[in-house]
Each structure stands twice: as C-alpha cells, then as structure tokens.
C-alpha cells in the first residue's frame, strides 16, 4: 500500500467542523482515501510526494443533478429563447425523438464526452438521470448506459408525458412495467412535478411505486412556477427537491423541517433568462442547499460546476465559501453520501487542484479554467 503526501497546498478545504479551510496544508492519500491531513510542517513521511506549489485544493465537485443520456442539440431553441421566446416543458420531446433514434454506442459516447468535460472542471461524482426515452425499452437502455459510468443513477420515466399518450395510462406504465425494467439499474426515482408535466397525485404515485421497489425519491419541483412539488418531496422523504425557484414561506418551512435538500440549478435560469432561486433565503432558514448543473441539452447545457459556483455567488446571494460547500458537501448530502464532498480522514481521495491560491477565485474569476488537476479515488482523471 503506497502512501502519497500532497503538500505545498496554499489553501486546503476539508469541511472539517473546526478547521474547514486551512492554509499551508498537506494531506496523505492511502488506498484511495484521505489518511491524514493537517499543517504541512506536521506531515508524516510518505512513499511519494506531490508538491502543488501553493495551489488551493478543494473536495471534488458533486454534481447531484444531470441528464447526460441524450442525443441531439437544441441550440436553435436556445437562440430563439434569447430572442424572446419563453421556455416550455414540452421542448423535452425534441430530445426524446433524437435520443430514441440514437444507437447505444452513440449515447454512451455522449455520456463519456460530457463526463470528460466535467472531470476537466473538477467534478468527481455525478448523478445521471434517464428521461429522454419514455418507453420501457428506451428508459431501461438509458439507465443501463448511465450505470456504466456512475452508481448514482435516477429513473426519470416521469419526465414528461410523451406525445399522443394519456396521462393516467402513462403513469400506469411508469409505475408498472417501465419501473420493473428500470429499477435494477437505478438507485433513485424522480418525477417532474410541474404544470405541463405531472401533478401532485401523479407525482406521489410515481414516487411511492419507486420507493416500493427499493428506489429512493428525489423530485423536480417548483421550477417554472409555484406548485406542490416541494411539499410532495418533503412528504415522501425525498433526498432532494431540485430547482426550488418559486417557493412560498410554507415551502421553505417544509424544507427546513425535513431532511430534504434544496437542489438549486442556476444554469437553468441563466439559459432561460429567468429569475434565479434565492439561496440566501434558504440558507438563512436552515435549509441544506446543493448546487448542481442540471446538464441537459434544453434548459441548461453546461457541465461546469465552477460556472454554477460563480452563479451561486453572484446571482443566488451565497458567499464564495457557502457556494463551494453547496457544490461539494451539499451535493453529497443530496445524494446521501458521506464518503465524498469533503476531505476529512476516511473520505474518498476525490479532489481538485486549482491554478489559484484560494477557492474564492472560482467565483472571483468566472469563466477562467482554474482546475489544474482532478483526482478520483487517488488517481488523476484530468
Ligand atoms: Zn433536471
């Protein structure tokens, strides 16, 4: 077992309760885990040394909400939207047609390409949803492909009602044969609870059927307007209610008093020129906030967690440290993981080395490629 000492760290973010951020730090990686961390002067001997020359080191980003299994491109729709047309949930159907028409190897290559982009930007854990198949065959295939790349796979058969289908009949499919085919490849079940997609009763039916087969729930909630999504998420004990753009005080109270994480996806508001969610209000109310990309070809085609962190600070009113926490430890909370999102002893050695002296630079220097190296389980991936 080789121990590697990473030293010369200008600023190390561990999210330790007493010393969350430490200057002049070092840590030891052994067997893919953090075995020791502290002041560089106190570092133990190790078999190998990696001096990062004053760089900041952060836990790898945990991107808790993506839709990477897709084909096609919706740049024309984005262009039209920037010329004044509103975002509508039905645009998903364009991607459904392209995804159904793609071969397995094409979908797999797309996932690989986007994961590679993510690695280059410091992301080390990624959740991936289905939801662009909407048939038993195509949803099962999406999850089977996603599972090759992550354990955090989410069954989202209830993304939108496919063209020509009746809502009640489609919910029967999603909670019946489609669930049976998909559950073996999934950890999570999700539903788009929104006007134009699924109402509260349909969302409850989808989530409860998923829970009954052993999947854990998460919800797309309150993205385009006020609605029941957040309340349904809290009611079923969902790990996260994602979007949370339009919240009543009762929604904020429900999130604060439940174990449900509020997942904020500001790439969506950026890409649809819509009002941003208010992270400050949530944090001040005691809600756990995660930041994620929602990477998808329609409403948020970014794979960049540094970009999301910058939006979190500039537009969602988080401090730079809060935004980084939400993009790492918050994402881990959203996925109910305690082995990632921090660099305390025992954590998986998933981290990013920045070409910057502090993590504040992620928001201070938006759009600049500051990630020098990304390491997963002690091994460089970018
Ligand atoms: Zn989404």
Give 151-198 pLDDT, tens digit per residue: 999 999 999 999 889 999 999 999 999 999 999 999 999 999 999 899
* Distance from Cα 65 to the centre of ligand 1, integer Å: 6
* Distance from Cα 147 to the centre of ligand 1, integer Å: 18
Place of tokens 């929604």: 251
Mean pLDDT of the chain: 96
Residues measured by CB to lie within 5 Å of ligand 1, the ion: 294
For the segment 256-302, what is each residue's pLDDT rounded down to a tens digit?
Answer: 999 999 999 999 999 999 999 999 999 999 999 999 999 999 999 99
pLDDT of residue 88: 63
* Distance from Cα 294 to the centre of ligand 1, integer Å: 5
The two structure tokens encoding residue 99: 């995804």
Which whole number is the average pLDDT over 362-368? 98
Q: Which residues pair with 27 in a beta bridge?
A: 6, 37
The two structure tokens encoding residue 103: 């071969």
* Distance from Cα 108 to the centre of ligand 1, integer Å: 19
* Distance from Cα 192 to the centre of ligand 1, integer Å: 8
Backbone phi, then psi, for 268, in 5-degree steps?
A: -65, -50
Q: How many CB atoms lie within 10 A of CB 193?
A: 29
Cα distance between residue 260 and residue 246, in whole Å: 16
User: Can you say whether the dihedral through the CA atoms of 92, 299, 64, 351 is positive or negative?
Assistant: positive
Q: How many CB atoms lie within 10 A of CB 369?
A: 11
Cα distance between residue 101 and residue 138, in whole Å: 10
Give the CA-trace dihedral at 335, 377, 342, 236, to 10 degrees: 10
Q: Please report which confidence band the pLDDT of residue 87 belongs to, taking 50, 70 and 90 as the band edges.
A: low
* Distance from Cα 286 to the centre of ligand 1, integer Å: 24
* Distance from Cα 342 to the centre of ligand 1, integer Å: 24
pLDDT of residue 243: 98
> What is the SS3 assignment for 36?
strand
For the segment 102-124, what is each residue's pLDDT rounded down to a tens digit?
Answer: 999 999 999 999 999 999 999 99
Q: What residue ranges in the chain does DSSP mark as E strands? A: 3-13, 21-30, 33-39, 48-51, 56-59, 61-63, 123-126, 128-129, 153-158, 188-193, 216-221, 240-243, 261-264, 289-291, 351-354, 371-376, 379-380
* Distance from Cα 193 to the centre of ligand 1, integer Å: 11
Q: How many CB atoms lie within 10 A of CB 175?
A: 22
42, pLDDT greater than 60: yes
Q: How many CB atoms lie within 10 A of CB 327?
A: 31
Q: Please report which confidence band the pLDDT of residue 339 belongs to, taking 50, 70 and 90 as the band edges.
A: very high
* Distance from Cα 24 to the centre of ligand 1, integer Å: 39
> Which distant-in-sequence residues (6+ apart) come within 8 Å of 165 by Cβ?
none
* Distance from Cα 42 to the centre of ligand 1, integer Å: 45
For the segment 229-265, what is each residue's pLDDT rounded down to a tens digit?
Answer: 999 999 999 999 999 999 999 999 999 999 999 999 9
Cα distance between residue 277 and residue 265, in whole Å: 8
pLDDT of residue 92: 83
Cα distance between residue 328 and residue 291, in whole Å: 8
DSSP 212: H
pLDDT of residue 91: 77
* Distance from Cα 123 to the centre of ligand 1, integer Å: 18
The two structure tokens encoding residue 377: 């389980």
* Distance from Cα 263 to the centre of ligand 1, integer Å: 10
Place of tokens 């330790």: 16
Do 48 and 2 meet the contact criterion of CB atoms below 8 Å apart? Answer: yes
* Distance from Cα 165 to the centre of ligand 1, integer Å: 22
Cα distance between residue 266 and residue 306, in whole Å: 12
* Distance from Cα 23 to the centre of ligand 1, integer Å: 37
């Amino acid at each position: 077992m080789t121990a590697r000492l990473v030293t010369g760290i200008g600023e190390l973010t561990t999210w330790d309760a007493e010393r969350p951020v430490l200057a002049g730090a070092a840590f030891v990686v052994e067997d893919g885990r953090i075995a020791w961390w502290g002041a560089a002067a106190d570092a133990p001997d190790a078999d190998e040394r990696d001096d990062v020359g004053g760089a900041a080191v952060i836990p790898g980003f945990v991107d808790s909400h993506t839709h990477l299994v897709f084909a096609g491109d919706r740049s024309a729709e984005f262009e039209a939207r920037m010329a004044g047309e509103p975002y509508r949930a039905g645009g998903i159907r364009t991607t459904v047609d392209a995804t159904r028409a793609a071969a397995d190897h094409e979908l797999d290559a797309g996932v690989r390409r986007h994961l590679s982009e993510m690695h280059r930007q410091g992301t080390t854990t990624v959740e991936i949803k289905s939801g662009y198949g909407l048939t038993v065959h195509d949803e099962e295939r999406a999850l089977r492909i996603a599972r090759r790349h992550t354990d955090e796979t989410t069954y989202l058969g209830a993304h939108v009602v496919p063209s020509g289908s009746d809502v009640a009949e489609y919910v029967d499919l999603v909670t019946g044969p489609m669930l049976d085919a998909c559950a073996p490849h999934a950890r999570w079940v999700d539903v788009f609870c929104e006007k134009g997609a699924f109402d509260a009763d349909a969302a409850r039916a989808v989530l409860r059927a998923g829970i009954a087969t052993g999947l854990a729930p998460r919800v797309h909630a309150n993205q385009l307007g006020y609605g029941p999504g957040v309340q349904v998420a809290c009611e079923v004990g969902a790990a996260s209610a994602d979007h949370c753009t339009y919240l009543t005080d009762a929604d904020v109270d429900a999130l604060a008093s439940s174990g449900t994480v509020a997942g904020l996806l500001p790439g969506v508001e950026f890409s649809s020129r819509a009002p941003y969610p208010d992270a400050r209000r949530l944090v001040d109310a005691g809600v756990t906030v995660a930041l994620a990309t929602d990477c998808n070809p329609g409403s948020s085609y970014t794979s960049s967690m540094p970009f999301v962190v910058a939006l979190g600070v500039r537009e969602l009113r988080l401090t730079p440290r809060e935004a980084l926490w939400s993009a790492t430890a918050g994402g881990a909370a959203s996925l109910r993981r305690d082995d990632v999102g921090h660099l305390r002893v025992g954590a998986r050695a998933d981290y990013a080395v920045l070409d910057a002296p502090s993590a504040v630079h992620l928001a201070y220097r938006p759009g600049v490629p500051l990630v020098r190296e990304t390491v997963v389980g002690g091994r460089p991936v970018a």
